[in-house]
Structure 1
Amino acid sequence: MAAESAQNFEALEAQARALLDLFARAGYEPVAPSIIQPAGVFLDQIGEQVRGRTYVFTDLAGEELCLRPDLTVPVSRLYLERHPKADRPARYCYNGPAFRFQPLGPSRTHPREFRQAGIECFGAADKESADIEIVLLAVGAVRSAGLRDYGLRFGDIALFYALIDALSLPERWRFKLRHYFWRPPVFHALLNRLAKGDRPEGDGLPQVLTAALAGTTPERAEELVAAYLEKQDIPLAGNRTLSEIAERLLDHAADLRADKLPKEVATIIDYYLAVAAPPREAVDKVAMIARGAGLDIDAGLDAALRRFDRLARDGIDLGRAIFATEFGRKLEYYSGLVFQIEGAGLDETEPVAGGGRYDGLLSALGARRDVPAVGSAIHTERLLAAVERAAP
């Protein structure tokens, strides 16, 4: 067992060296961001699906920290440390561990500690070319490691946002639908409820508290929630602060007073999110849905089609690819193109590699404005497993 573990470690190290060498030759500077990161940065940006799996702790000075659950945020922070004005383009590559709790228990393809080898491109003015560069480099990297049997899955957050913005619906529901896009079961339950005009359930909250919160300021809401928790002798637990709990309850109270979502709008969104087909066919289907609904999302459709045409010209076999409108990956900082590479024998939840565009992340981390950014990370344990599985 020890010998097998040592062999696996050596294979991973050899693979990592080869990947980093490939990235460096493509013009990406190797960096090594800190493993321990401020927890608040991650918990605010990565989204619920990864947030609940992040290892969080408090050090002896009382600072809340975490073991990084991915490397995009740490590399983004490193970029801002080097370029506080976020006014210079930069390309970085890395290889290092990340950490996530595995609710079904750790396994070879879902370990608690896993390695990511990746690339991040900041400040490139030509976003389309940067997107193409990242996809080509990620595919080239897994192929260089020996992976031949793989599929590609694409999504486009910006196209979904364009659809939502083109629809006539209450601004509150536009915000909520954008927010819940990354959690399909919750999203569809919300959409179904809104179309029926059903009010949200109270989640066990007493009506008197919900009524008291309606229309109050965040500061007053925090006071009311604190008083309620103290009176009921309910301790704070988990990763949420008192202010976050109050904010969530304020949001719930506002839902109770919001207008109904028109049923025809919900139907259009359902039709859109049901599209999953080869890329050009999928774009045609979305265009047909938009035309039928009288919506103008031509700019987003043209951008998606142009991107796929360029990928095909640059050697990407779109016969291996699916464009799924509901696909957004699990990290909620994405804002445009998203993609993942899926090895044979591994399902959609076990991608070998993935990435996408995240133009809003750096401003959330302190930059004065949004900064064009796109990247990709390879889950090297899965890549090694997929290559070994395919070996004769």
Structure 2
Amino acid sequence: MAAESAKEFEALEAQAATLLDVFKRAGYEQVAPSIIQPADVFLDQIGEQVRGRTYVFTDLAGDELCLRPDLTVPVSRLYLERHPDAGTEARYCYNGPAFRFFADRSNRAHPREFRQAGIECFGVKDRESADVEVVLLAVEAVRAAGLKDFRLKFGDIALFYAFIDALALPERWRLKLRHYFWRPSVFHALLTRLARGERPDADSPASILARTLDRDDPESSEERVARYLKEQGLPLEGNRTLSEITARLLDLAGDLRAEPLRKEVATVIDYFLAVAAQPKEAVSRVAMIAKGAGIEIDGALDALIRRFERLEKASIDLSRATFATEFGRSLEYYSGLVFQIEVGDEREPSQIAGGGRYDGLLANIGAPREVPAIGSAIHTERLLAAIERRA
């Protein structure tokens, strides 16, 4: 457990009671999902940035497990245990520890064990109303705890998807750009390479091997890779399995065969991802970029505008908020509106709370259908520290 004094523990407990009271008065049932979770469920869903910081271990029965790095997936699993048909509306709130590895153990802003208090809303078909409800509740909760001065930051994965899907680009690159959205450095490196017309080195040993593989037959491709490694005297070492090596080679084979991306399309994507401004201004800029590119994304833009209008009617001051097209948070299960509550320097803000829509997550962990879902989590140690700094 993160080091803390008795006084700090009492303050966190009192703060958690305040947060949970806000959530429960809004109709959210308090739940306590298990701290130990199946590792494969998390590692398949949470994305590269968090996957590498998750504590994973094997128990005496040989099962691979993990300490939960967040609470959204555990609460989603609890929902499915209670409602296997995934056809029931449910609202849950929680308060408890989560665990992520950070190399700097002295950094109090990033402890390896930290608390989250939050909410998850499942099965509400009116996505617009649910999105607004969760943002408003997160804001109400931090205000009730004593935080008065903060900023909101928004993004929208659905808008990015709509923009990418409307552009005329090879399907190969469309899927890759969607996949790498959460890793900006990799995304922009790929986009720059494509814009320059650069292709993978076709004469490298990896490319030569990749061209011999059958992308429609992974099993025979894996056998071919195994033979190649044996013939070359290359033993399997490190963390990559034979299946993972084969998957990477098949991915390379797809890159070698894909059509090039037109430079002007890459430029339009760059323009889109550079938008960061007050919400109304940002929406106008995106609309202008789409019009200039000759594409239609009115449905996604209108949905975003309606959410902002409803937040303003609920007294959310959007003049101090930002909407950034490149903002998607670090968890790759998000699929729509995302947001953060931030304090401190705008260049290096401290995230106090965050959340977003994740409609595809429950189907990916066992639900028989896609389930509308949105949630938010508050980092309670950071919230307490921010309040105390302003006292």
Question: What is the TM-score with the length of structure 2 in the denominator?
Answer: 0.94
Correspondent of 1:232 among 228, 231, 234: 234
Residue 320 of structure 2 is matched in structure 1 by 320
Measured after TM superposition, the shift of residue 349 of structure 1 is 6.3
Residue 210 of structure 2 is matched in structure 1 by 210
Measured after TM superposition, the shift of residue 148 of structure 1 is 1.2
3-state DSSP of counterpart to 1:386:
helix
* Cα offsets for 1:216-268 (capped at 9, x unmatched): 5221233334455564123252xx65434422331122112211001111111
Give the residue type in structure 2 aligned to 1:63.
Answer: D
Distance 2:194 2:263 in 1: 8
3-state DSSP of counterpart to 1:213:
coil
Residue 285 of structure 2 is matched in structure 1 by 285
CA contact (8 A) 2:166 2:296 kept: yes
Distance 2:130 2:201 in 1: 44
3-state DSSP of counterpart to 2:211:
helix
CA contact (8 A) 1:169 1:265 kept: yes
Residue 78 of structure 1 is matched in structure 2 by 78
**Which segment drifts farther, 178-187 or 2-11?**
2-11
Distance 1:269 1:84 in 2: 40
Give the residue type in structure 2 aligned to 1:59.
Answer: D
Distance 1:179 1:325 in 2: 16
- Tell me the C-alpha RMSD between the 2 structures: 1.9
Residue 199 of structure 1 is matched in structure 2 by 199
Residue 354 of structure 2 is matched in structure 1 by 354
Distance 1:245 1:74 in 2: 30
CA contact (8 A) 2:344 2:350 kept: no
**Per the alignment, do residues 342 and 216 of structure 1 end up closer, same or farther by CA in structure 2, a change over 3 Å counting?**
same
3-state DSSP of counterpart to 2:40:
helix
Q: 1:139-288 to 2 correspondence within 5 Å?
A: 139-200=139-200, 206-213=206-213, 215=215, 217-228=217-228, 231-237=233-239, 241-288=241-288
Residue 54 of structure 1 is matched in structure 2 by 54
Give the residue type in structure 1 aligned to 2:149.
Answer: D
CA contact (8 A) 2:275 2:286 kept: yes
Measured after TM superposition, the shift of residue 214 of structure 1 is 5.2
Distance 2:367 2:241 in 1: 25
Q: 1:303-342 to 2 correspondence within 5 Å?
A: 303-342=303-342
Residue 127 of structure 1 is matched in structure 2 by 127
3-state DSSP of counterpart to 2:142:
helix
Distance 1:169 1:270 in 2: 14
Distance 2:220 2:131 in 1: 45
CA contact (8 A) 2:22 2:140 kept: no
Measured after TM superposition, the shift of residue 76 of structure 1 is 0.4
Identity of matched residues, %: 72
Residue 15 of structure 2 is matched in structure 1 by 15
Give the residue type in structure 1 aligned to 2:77.
Answer: R
3-state DSSP of counterpart to 1:331:
coil
3-state DSSP of counterpart to 1:232:
coil
CA contact (8 A) 1:214 1:254 kept: no
CA contact (8 A) 2:206 2:249 kept: no
Distance 1:261 1:252 in 2: 16
Q: 1:63-102 to 2 correspondence within 5 Å?
A: 63-102=63-102
Q: How many residues align?
A: 387
Measured after TM superposition, the shift of residue 286 of structure 1 is 0.4
3-state DSSP of counterpart to 2:254:
helix
In the alignment, structure 1 segments of 5+ residues that lack a partner are none
**Per the alignment, do residues 39 and 4 of structure 1 end up closer, same or farther by CA in structure 2, a change over 3 Å counting?**
closer
**Per the alignment, do residues 205 and 57 of structure 1 end up closer, same or farther by CA in structure 2, a change over 3 Å counting?**
farther
Distance 1:87 1:244 in 2: 36
